Amino acid sequence: MTSSSTAYATMPSPVGELVLATQGAGLTHVEMPVHGAAPRREHTSAFDPGWRRDDALLADALGQLSEYFAGTRRTFELALSPRGTPFQLKVWEALRAIPYGTTISYGELAARIGNRNASRAVGLANGRNPIAIIVPCHRVVGAGGKLTGYGGGLENKRLLLDLERSVVSG
């Protein structure tokens, strides 16, 4: 696969059809439908000749996501290659440190990256996370635990949090 070639796969999930993509070095995207619409990325060769379906290349990621939705996986062991600004990458790395089944506020996430006053910027970076679920942006909530903003819709955010809480509580 050339560095500009993108391989993708899709999978059904409780939050709708997921689109996974890689350019070979690691997972670059896990996207879900927004409010019942198709995922944002055009992911078929009919729309983008640089994208080609390759379920075998993404088999490990597909399997780990299936285990997550079945409640048998709490952490992901995948190479990731998100693309973003240095600030976004810092936020996305901090998201990966939020334990399964727990939530933190945008303010707490800002403090974790060393800038208590950056909660709005953290929220924007969180909203641009290209690797949903695996980089768990759904675990960030508003002050007081209120569910706020989620690219996949608040119903899906609630579904993911409820799934994790039910697994943790046994």
Active site residues: 137
Find the DSSP H helices in 32-153. 59-70, 86-95, 106-112, 119-127
What type of residue is 154?
L
Tell me the pairing of strands 51-53 and 27-31.
Answer: unpaired
Angle of CA points 94, 29, 100, to nearest 5°: 40
Residue 22: helix, strand or coil by DSSP?
Answer: strand
